[in-house]
Structure 1
Amino acid sequence: MSQPLAEIPVTDLKGVGTALALKLERLAIHTVQDLLFHLPLRYQDRTRIVPIGSLRPGDECVVEGEVKVADVVQGRRRSLLCRIQDGTGTLTLRFFHFNAAQKNSLKPGSRIRCFAEARTGAAGLEMVHPEYTKLDSDKLTPVAENLTPVYPTTDGLHQTRLRSLATQALTYLDRQGLQELLPDNIRQQWRLPELNDAIRYLHHPPADVDQPLLLDGKHPAQRRLAFEELLAHHFSLLKLREKTREKGAPVLQASGQLTQPFLQGLPFPLTGAQQRVGAEVAQDLQQPYPMLRLVQGDVGSGKTVVAALAALQSVESGLQAAVMAPTEILAEQHFNNFTAWLEPLGIKVAWLAGKLKGKQRETQLEAMRNGEARVVVGTHALFQEEVVFHDLGLVVVDEQHRFGVHQRLSLREKGRNGELSPHQLIMTATPIPRTLTMSAYADLDCSIIDELPPGRTPVATVVIGDERRHQVIERVRSACRDGRQVYWVCTLIEESEALQCQAAEVTAEQLTETLPELRVGLVHGRMKPAEKAEVMGRFKAAELDLLVATTVIEVGVDVPNASVMIIENPERLGLAQLHQLRGRVGRGSVESFCVLMYHAPLSKQGRERLKVMRETTDGFKIAEKDLELRGPGEVLGTRQTGMMQFKIADLQRDSDLLTRVKQVAGQMHGYPQHVEPMIRRWLGVGEEYGNV
Structure 2
Amino acid sequence: MLAQMTLTSLKGIGPKLVEKYHKLGLVTVQDLLFHLPLRYQDKTKLTPFSQIILGDEAQLEGEIISQHMTQSRNPSLLVKLISEEGQSLTCRFFHFGFRQAQQFKRGLTMRVYGEVRSGPTGFEMVHPTYQLFAKGQSPELEDTLTPIYPTTEGLGQASLLKLIKQALALLEQYPLTEALPSQLCQELHLPGINQSLRTLHQPQPSDDLLQIKHFEHPVQQRLIFEELLTHQLGLQTLRQAEQQRQAPNFPPSQTVNALLASLPFSLTGAQLRVLHEIQQDLKKPYPMQRLVQGDVGSGKTVIAALAAIQAADAGYQVAIMAPTEILAEQHRNAFCEWLEPLGIPVAWLNGRMKAAEKRFMLAQVVSGEAKVVVGTHALFQDAVEFQKLGLVIIDEQHRFGVHQRLALHEKGKTEDVHSHQLIMTATPIPRTLAMTAYGDLDLSVIDELPPGRKPIDTAVLSNQKRLEVMEHLYQKCKDGVQAYWVCPLIEESELLHAQAAEVTATQFSDYYPDLRIGLIHGRLKGEEKALVMNAFKAHQLDLLVATTVIEVGVNVPNASLMIIENAERLGLAQLHQLRGRVGRGDKQSHCVLLYQAPLSETGKARLNIMRETTDGFRIAEEDLRIRGPGEILGTRQTGGLQFRMADLMRDQHWIALVKHHAEDLATSHPDLMTRLQERWVGHKVEYKHA
TM bucket, shorter chain: 0.7 to 0.9
The answer (yes or no) to whether the contact 2:327–2:554 under 8 Å persists in 1 is: yes
Q: Deviations over 1:135-156 (max 9, x none)?
A: xx9xxx9986544434344455
In structure 1, what is the equivalent of residue 366 of structure 2? 369
C-alpha distance in 2, partners of 1:259/1:520?
Answer: 41
C-alpha distance in 2, partners of 1:231/1:442?
Answer: 12
1:385 aligns to 2:382 (yes or no):
yes
The CA deviation at 1:200 is 0.8
- The 10-residue stretch of structure 1 (52-61 or 237-246) with the greater mean CA deviation from structure 2: 52-61
C-alpha distance in 1, partners of 2:495/2:157?
Answer: 41
Identical positions, percent: 53
Pick from 671, 674, 677 the counterpart of residue 676 of structure 1. Answer: 674
The answer (yes or no) to whether the contact 1:490–1:500 under 8 Å persists in 2 is: no
The secondary structure found in structure 2 opposite 1:295 is strand
C-alpha distance in 2, partners of 1:54/1:612?
Answer: 34
1:238 aligns to 2:239 (yes or no):
no
Structure 1 residues 180 and 586, CA gap change in structure 2 (3 angstroms): same
Structure 1 residues 350 and 144, CA gap change in structure 2 (3 angstroms): closer
The secondary structure found in structure 2 opposite 1:650 is coil
The answer (yes or no) to whether the contact 2:489–2:501 under 8 Å persists in 1 is: no
C-alpha distance in 2, partners of 1:582/1:479?
Answer: 18
Q: Deviations over 1:570-599 (max 9, x none)?
A: 111100011001100010111111111222
Give the residue type in structure 1 aligned to 2:345: K
The CA deviation at 1:280 is 0.1
- Summarize the alignment of residues 128-143 of structure 1 with structure 2, pairs less than 5 Å apart: none
C-alpha distance in 2, partners of 1:17/1:296?
Answer: 50
C-alpha distance in 2, partners of 1:508/1:180?
Answer: 64
In structure 1, what is the equivalent of residue 179 of structure 2? 181
The answer (yes or no) to whether the contact 2:48–2:60 under 8 Å persists in 1 is: no
The CA deviation at 1:264 is 0.5
- Summarize the alignment of residues 339-488 of structure 1 with structure 2, pairs less than 5 Å apart: 339-488=336-485
C-alpha distance in 2, partners of 1:317/1:51?
Answer: 72
Structure 1 residues 35 and 267, CA gap change in structure 2 (3 angstroms): same
C-alpha distance in 1, partners of 2:625/2:641?
Answer: 15
Q: Deviations over 1:649-676 (max 9, x none)?
A: 1112112111111011022121111111
In structure 1, what is the equivalent of residue 600 of structure 2? 603
- Summarize the alignment of residues 118-133 of structure 1 with structure 2, pairs less than 5 Å apart: none
List gaps (5 residues or longer) in structure 2: none
The secondary structure found in structure 2 opposite 1:305 is helix
The secondary structure found in structure 1 opposite 2:352 is coil
The answer (yes or no) to whether the contact 2:491–2:500 under 8 Å persists in 1 is: no
C-alpha distance in 1, partners of 2:661/2:381?
Answer: 42
In structure 1, what is the equivalent of residue 211 of structure 2? 213
In structure 1, what is the equivalent of residue 686 of structure 2? 688
Pick from 596, 611, 616 the counterpart of residue 614 of structure 1. Answer: 611
Larger radius of gyration: 1
The secondary structure found in structure 1 opposite 2:585 is coil
C-alpha distance in 2, partners of 1:643/1:470?
Answer: 47
The CA deviation at 1:351 is 1.4
Structure 1 residues 464 and 178, CA gap change in structure 2 (3 angstroms): same
Give the residue type in structure 1 aligned to 2:509: T
The CA deviation at 1:295 is 0.3
Pick from 292, 298, 312 the counterpart of residue 309 of structure 2. Answer: 312
Give the residue type in structure 2 aligned to 1:251: N
In structure 2, what is the equivalent of residue 289 of structure 1? 286
Structure 1 residues 8 and 522, CA gap change in structure 2 (3 angstroms): same
Pick from 299, 310, 313 the counterpart of residue 302 of structure 1. Answer: 299
Structure 1 length normalisation: TM-score? Answer: 0.86
The answer (yes or no) to whether the contact 2:462–2:594 under 8 Å persists in 1 is: yes
In structure 2, what is the equivalent of residue 566 of structure 1? 563
C-alpha distance in 2, partners of 1:74/1:352?
Answer: 62
C-alpha distance in 1, partners of 2:299/2:190?
Answer: 45
1:545 aligns to 2:542 (yes or no):
yes
CA-based RMSD = 4.0
Structure 2 length normalisation: TM-score? Answer: 0.87
C-alpha distance in 2, partners of 1:398/1:264?
Answer: 25
Give the residue type in structure 2 aligned to 1:235: L
Structure 1 residues 608 and 64, CA gap change in structure 2 (3 angstroms): closer
The CA deviation at 1:25 is 2.9
C-alpha distance in 2, partners of 1:235/1:602?
Answer: 43
The CA deviation at 1:560 is 0.5
- The 10-residue stretch of structure 1 (372-381 or 619-628) with the greater mean CA deviation from structure 2: 372-381
Give the residue type in structure 2 aligned to 1:640: Q
The secondary structure found in structure 2 opposite 1:7 is coil
Pick from 310, 315, 331 the counterpart of residue 334 of structure 1. Answer: 331
The secondary structure found in structure 1 opposite 2:652 is coil
In structure 1, what is the equivalent of residue 263 of structure 2? 266
The secondary structure found in structure 2 opposite 1:6 is coil
C-alpha distance in 2, partners of 1:475/1:443?
Answer: 49
The CA deviation at 1:356 is 2.3
C-alpha distance in 2, partners of 1:455/1:601?
Answer: 38
1:505 aligns to 2:502 (yes or no):
yes
C-alpha distance in 2, partners of 1:387/1:502?
Answer: 41
C-alpha distance in 2, partners of 1:311/1:51?
Answer: 64
The CA deviation at 1:160 is 4.1
The answer (yes or no) to whether the contact 1:572–1:606 under 8 Å persists in 2 is: no
C-alpha distance in 1, partners of 2:638/2:141?
Answer: 42
The secondary structure found in structure 1 opposite 2:448 is coil
Give the residue type in structure 2 aligned to 1:565: M
C-alpha distance in 2, partners of 1:322/1:190?
Answer: 46
The answer (yes or no) to whether the contact 1:456–1:589 under 8 Å persists in 2 is: yes
Number of corresponding residues:
662
Structure 1 residues 277 and 158, CA gap change in structure 2 (3 angstroms): closer
C-alpha distance in 2, partners of 1:411/1:9?
Answer: 37
The answer (yes or no) to whether the contact 2:311–2:317 under 8 Å persists in 1 is: yes
The answer (yes or no) to whether the contact 1:351–1:364 under 8 Å persists in 2 is: yes
